[in-house]
């Protein structure tokens, strides 16, 4: 997001990015691993990786890496990300009515 953009413009730029809302919706259900999110959203790995990086950089998603023999990474929403629940519900309600 652009540093000097107005808050509404910045939010719209982030949320308007393709796959952002489906990814956030998937993570609203529960924390998930990369492949789980990919299956839920049916998004290609490269796009999912880029979008998760963008969401993490903007404080929407947090990434937790477990150091094991086979590294495990889980993604979950931050408080800021969880606050998008009302926005997603409003968009969903609107789409069903129209």
In the chain, the domains with their CATH numbers are 31-97 (1.10.10.10)
Residues 44-60 have pLDDT tens digits of 999 999 999 999 999 99
Amino acid 48: pLDDT:
97
* Spatial CA neighbour of 25 closest among 98, 96, 86, 97: 86
Examine the pLDDT at 5 and tell me if it is beyond 80: no
- Model's pTM, two decimal places? 0.84
Amino acid 65: pLDDT:
93
Residue 92's CB is within 10 A of a number of other CB atoms, namely 12
């Amino acid at each position: 997001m652009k540093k000097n953009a107005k808050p509404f413009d910045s939010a719209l730029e982030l949320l308007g990015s393709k796959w952002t809302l489906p990814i956030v919706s998937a993570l609203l259900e529960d924390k998930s691993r990369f492949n789980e999110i990919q299956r839920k959203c049916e998004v290609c790995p490269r796009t999912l990786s880029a979008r998760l990086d963008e969401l993490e950089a903007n404080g929407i998603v947090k990434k937790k890496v477990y150091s094991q023999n086979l590294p495990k990474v889980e993604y979950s929403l931050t408080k800021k990300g969880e606050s998008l629940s009302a926005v997603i519900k409003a968009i969903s309600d609107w789409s069903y009515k129209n």
